[in-house]
Amino acid sequence: MKVVVIQGPNLNMLGVREQHIYGPMKLEHIHAQMKDFATQNGVEIEFFQSNLEGEIVDRVQECYGDANGIIINPAAYTHTSIAIRDAIAAVNLPTIEVHISNIHRREEFRKINMIAPVCASSIVGFGPFGYHLAMIGVLQMMNEIQAAGEVQKTQQVK
């Protein structure tokens, strides 16, 4: 099984930018923790970060036929990107949206979420730990899909 983690704009600046909101942890450390968890669970994991909307759309689309699940932090594009939303809907993979801060307790414009309606779930406000929660969630969904497929195969054989 394979999970692709897609990080949006300015997340490459974690640990530097607005530490009072996002904390001191750098993106590389978050990814290292996720990789450890994935390895412990026999899951392949791949990371991608871009500040460009079109590159994020391309990476989501590349997951079709290549990955079993997506974890995405679209960052500022959460509030504006119909293109990312449509890409997630098109690939129809278990997708969990993550936000380090609680976007619902921030500026009014951050309360608009274009992405959440096409994701299986959203995790907000847990800081970097939200990525760990997302890993648990996406693995559970992937296991349930795999189990359902095995049940279906068994029923077809009978």
User: DSSP string of 38-86?
Assistant: HHHTT-EEEEEE-S-HHHHHHHHHHTTTT-SEEEEE-GGGGGT-HHHHH
Tens digits of residue pLDDT in 21-79? 888 899 999 999 999 999 999 999 999 999 999 999 999 999 999 999 999 999 999 99
Q: Could you give the residue numbers annotated as active site? A: 22, 99
- Note the pTM of the prediction, 2 decimals: 0.91
Q: Is 14 helix (H, G, I), strand (E, B) or coil?
A: coil
2-7 and 121-124 as β-strands: parallel, antiparallel, unpaired?
Answer: unpaired
Cβ-contact 101, 22 below 8 angstroms: yes
Q: Does domain 2-157 have CATH number 3.40.50.9100?
A: yes
The confidence band for 149, taking pLDDT boundaries of 50, 70 and 90, is: confident
User: Is pLDDT larger for residue 107 or for residue 11?
Assistant: 11
Q: What is the pLDDT of residues 86-116, one digit of tens each?
A: 999 999 999 999 999 888 887 787 778 999 9
Distance in angstroms between the alpha carbons of the first and the last residue of the chain: 27
Q: How far apart are CA 124 and CA 27, in angstroms?
A: 17
Domain boundaries, the chain: 2-157
pLDDT score recorded for residue 7: 98
